[in-house]
Structure 1
Amino acid sequence: MSDTERKRYSEKQKVKIFDEEFLPHIDSMYNFAYRLTFDEDDAKDLVQETYLKAFRFIDSFQEGTNAKAWLFRILKNSFINDFRKKSKEPSKVDYQEVETFYNSDEVDEPITTDLRVETVQDMIGDEVSIALNSLAVDFRTVIILCDLEGFTYEEMAKILDIPIGTVRSRLHRARNLLKEKLWNYAQSMGYK
């Protein structure tokens, strides 16, 4: 759709679309963002950035189409852009934080590790989430979109901007990788 063909919404229409078509998906957006970032604050920031972009570019949204898929695509692109930007930046050290620590009373306290706590923490956890989170982001993303969010292959292809055949093969490979990672856990739970 060219700029001349693009529909211009009034401010009232924009707010209506935002409230009725975009906001109902905020929980799914947060869950997807969290599964990509593994950090609550980063996930919230990513969702906020997604909704800001969605409102800013609302004129390019076709009312009545799949708003959830449109939002997921914006979120996925924002995540990839942020990831690329951060991977090119050198590591940063907050010297103020280091100075504060060394000037505090805690600097002389011995740091001990309670191995009992660490051992129990390692034993407790959702094995499926751990296995899913250990997958590469491309594989993790297709499983989240298909198996957790219920998108069709066609919708996933649009969100990820890849051919449907690639979606299918990536999903097949991702499921096999997940199955391999969960094999020992399944056996320990009595499954054959």
Structure 2
Amino acid sequence: MTLGSLFTRASTKDRAFEREAMPHMRSLYGAAMRLVRSPDDASDLVQETMLKAYKAWDQFETGTNCKAWLFRIQTNAFINKYRRRVKEREILEGPERQAAEHNLVHLPSKRAFLDPEGELVDRTLGDEVLKALDTVPEDFRTVVMLSDVEGFSYKEIADLCEIPVGTVMSRLFRGRRILQEQLFA
């Protein structure tokens, strides 16, 4: 293989990735924000997702649902981070944990500058909806978010979360009911 053919192959991969995957970054970021609830952590999760997707781009089957493929990667990355955090919490308990949590600082998001339209939509949702969504248990919240916010089908959600379609439907029903109870309580 010549050096020229390597560059051609790499640039073809770059163009295909840019064309297929990059348009989904806003959706990935929105989903990440709902999962991790921190702009910095959401950006990190999206960056990790895109890096993993780019490295595995040769495994992506052209013509399949790229958005679902990216969400699967992001979901796996989130689960892996969650597992690491659980292990870290087991190590850090008691006064040390309280001190660490007290010193955590979240910097303001740059999103208002980068995506004013998205920021306005989020503000329109209102604090009440976001607070209510935070009370929904994570398994239900993830399914509600993937269905109602991202527009995935039951089958796609089942594939993303690696659960049966029936479980998706029951979690969606329960999640919506909890959300509704919180909003109208």
Q: TM-score, structure 1 length as denominator? A: 0.72
Cα distance in 2 between the residues matched to 1:69 and 1:17? 17
Cα distance in 1 between the residues matched to 2:92 and 2:25? 32
> SS in structure 2 opposite 1:65?
coil
The number of residues matched between the two structures is 147
Aligned to 2:18: 19
Cα distance in 2 between the residues matched to 1:176 and 1:71? 28
1:95-120 C-alpha deviation (Å, 9 max, x unpaired): xx9xxxxxxxxxxxxxxxxxxxxxxx
Contact 1:145 1:151 (C-alpha < 8 Å) held by counterparts:
yes
Contact 1:17 1:63 (C-alpha < 8 Å) held by counterparts:
no
> SS in structure 2 opposite 1:63?
coil
Cα distance in 2 between the residues matched to 1:80 and 1:21? 24
AA at the equivalent of 2:145:
I
Aligned to 1:157: 158
**Aligned pairs for 1:59-98 within 5 A:** 59-89=58-88, 90-91=91-92
Cα distance in 1 between the residues matched to 2:54 and 2:69? 12
Unaligned runs of 5+ in 1: 1-9, 98-124, 185-192
Structure 1 segments of 4+ aligned residues over 4 angstroms from their partners:
none
> SS in structure 1 opposite 2:139?
helix
Cα distance in 2 between the residues matched to 1:31 and 1:17? 23
1:1-26 C-alpha deviation (Å, 9 max, x unpaired): xxxxxxxxx32332122101100010
> SS in structure 2 opposite 1:62?
coil
1:59-104 C-alpha deviation (Å, 9 max, x unpaired): 22111111111111111110111011111112396xxx9xxxxxxx
> SS in structure 2 opposite 1:32?
helix
> SS in structure 2 opposite 1:126?
helix
AA at the equivalent of 1:156:
I
Q: TM-score, structure 2 length as denominator? A: 0.74
**Aligned pairs for 1:34-45 within 5 A:** 34-45=33-44
Aligned to 2:128: 127
Q: Higher Cα Rg: structure 1 or 2? A: 1
> SS in structure 1 opposite 2:184?
helix
Cα distance in 2 between the residues matched to 1:133 and 1:158? 24
Cα distance in 2 between the residues matched to 1:82 and 1:146? 23
Cα distance in 1 between the residues matched to 2:67 and 2:32? 13
